[in-house]
Structure 1
């Protein structure tokens, strides 16, 4: 049986009238009658009881009608999905991103893109860095906002934002009131307890690398899952923390710590856009990728150039 025959059958089952159904389908009555005969032969049972010129859907036909409607709905849904995949003006962008960019960078990207493409929807995933990369592998996301740049060769990556890092300390801390608001070396906090993210977060690993470069291993007093929580705990006096500059605007004023600029050479992080290098993405996701890289990327000359 063909999809067309199933569609004809559904119309015939709903009208129970051969002439009316043929007129609605804009085919001849003999054509519809032959299609019904083929369908009944295919399923091995009559689908209608004949009452003169009137048709009555029987129990076999009722079973086929239930499944035909469901099958046609799936076929139509598949067609809609395929249309979304090839049409950059519609469909859904599946975007994964870090917790630390959820309140500023990602909303800015979506807002600016939807101003140009209001018909596009988004499915969003907010996770630690390693989960973002797995979402790309699993096909749960088309693109991911990540930091640091993935080390695996399967991922392409382009930088979007480079932000400075600062040392957050409680009010009244010995490093809080330096003359002229001068920078400090991270080494000056080597004996302090540190408040940081949990080990699975990329920013935790960045903090550990900075501390190692400064010649010490941080003594961790608290591990959180949100940078705002980390800064709040610093403000409460639990310790000090390395935090990114652009996150600061998202933290309520009453929960902020004193932010001291860091003088260390590596005291910055780069946030970028990642995707699987060898997997084609839906047209709408590709449109979003090119938009983000051309409008928000650090090196905007050619959004098609892929950094390894």
Structure 2
């Protein structure tokens, strides 16, 4: 079977529909169907079963797709690594970054780097911190913009203050400062469990000895700020998001409400020339 066939299978598995996958891939549906049949014949088992809404993975298919993703990722990494070795100035940098940095630090940093290294290609992965660490471990990412991580290289980029945001007209909206304990009865909009920013918020609330009710959860901090503006609760967010949708930002007192964001990388192996160049550029004084 060909790597291309495996990549196509992954797309079908993600969309759960052969016709839709063919449209996304830009190939005729019969061509895609033959590729599926080719892989299933070589494996000696069905990867997909038809359902009224399209297709879904069989139990064996789940194993096959997991392996297909791994093979496709390894193939892409091999192509990128070879390109880097052949032409370091036009190499590839695989950069993972926190969702909360998507609208602030990352665009500015990429713009500035592109001006000095226009032939270096950056492959971006926007994800929570736990996935970032996994990607660095497996080599799916060369560098990452996240909080400091044990055992990884570190170059600070941003010291970020967290604030409380409330809707306009909220009982606290006229305040300049508020203590965390005052939020004990407030409904809060939060990042879901498992994200680094949720852990930071939970630690702040635990330190204050409170467990406020949670009204909504969203993986996107900008969405959280918008939900607060709509009157669906209050939230703790990075200061740069306060007021984006009409919320009111209020300084929190009585706790450490800052987090450091920086560039991290594995120190047990050498970075590619392109990745090292990006690291040195981003961490310059």
* 1:158 to partner: Cα distance: 2.3
Aligned to 1:270: 260
For the pair 1:292 / 2:261, whether they are aligned, the reply is: no
Contact 1:234 1:240 in 2 (8 A): yes
* 1:184 to partner: Cα distance: 1.4
SS of 1:184's equivalent in the other structure is strand
Contact 2:204 2:255 in 1 (8 A): no
For the pair 1:110 / 2:100, whether they are aligned, the reply is: no
* 1:86 to partner: Cα distance: 6.7
How does 1:138-149 map onto structure 2 within 5 Å? 138-147=138-147, 149=148
Task: Work out the CA distance in 2 between the residues paired with 1:96 and 1:189.
Answer: 34
Task: Work out the CA distance in 1 between the residues paired with 2:88 and 2:100.
Answer: 29
Alpha carbons of structure 1 residues 113 and 204: separation in structure 2 relative to 1, 3 Å: same
Contact 2:168 2:246 in 1 (8 A): no
Contact 2:173 2:250 in 1 (8 A): yes
Aligned to 1:210: 204
User: Which blocks of at least 5 consecutive residues in structure 2 are unaligned?
Assistant: 1-77
How does 1:18-37 map onto structure 2 within 5 Å? none
For the pair 1:222 / 2:216, whether they are aligned, the reply is: yes
Task: Work out the CA distance in 1 between the residues paired with 2:212 and 2:229.
Answer: 18
Aligned to 1:184: 178
| 4+ residue segments displaced more than 4 Å | 78-81
* 1:114 to partner: Cα distance: 0.9
Aligned to 1:134: 134
SS of 2:232's equivalent in the other structure is coil
Alignment counterpart, residue 153 of structure 2, candidates 152, 156, 168:
156
User: Which blocks of at least 5 consecutive residues in structure 1 are unaligned?
Assistant: 1-77, 295-299, 301-308
Alpha carbons of structure 1 residues 174 and 122: separation in structure 2 relative to 1, 3 Å: same
Aligned pair count?
209
TM-score by length of 2: 0.69
Alpha carbons of structure 1 residues 133 and 86: separation in structure 2 relative to 1, 3 Å: farther
* 1:290 to partner: Cα distance: 0.6
Alpha carbons of structure 1 residues 183 and 88: separation in structure 2 relative to 1, 3 Å: farther
SS of 1:89's equivalent in the other structure is helix
* 1:205 to partner: Cα distance: 0.5
Contact 1:86 1:284 in 2 (8 A): no
Aligned to 1:194: 188
Residue deviations 1:90-145 (CA, integer Å, cap 9, x gap): 21111001111111211111110111111111101011110011111111110011
Alignment counterpart, residue 169 of structure 2, candidates 165, 169, 172:
172
Task: Work out the CA distance in 1 between the residues paired with 2:256 and 2:121.
Answer: 38
How does 1:46-65 map onto structure 2 within 5 Å? none
Aligned to 1:241: 235
Higher Cα Rg, which structure: 1
Aligned to 2:89: 89
Alpha carbons of structure 1 residues 86 and 209: separation in structure 2 relative to 1, 3 Å: farther
Task: Work out the CA distance in 2 between the residues paired with 1:80 and 1:202.
Answer: 30
Alpha carbons of structure 1 residues 287 and 94: separation in structure 2 relative to 1, 3 Å: same
Task: Work out the CA distance in 1 between the residues paired with 2:127 and 2:195.
Answer: 9
Contact 1:167 1:186 in 2 (8 A): no
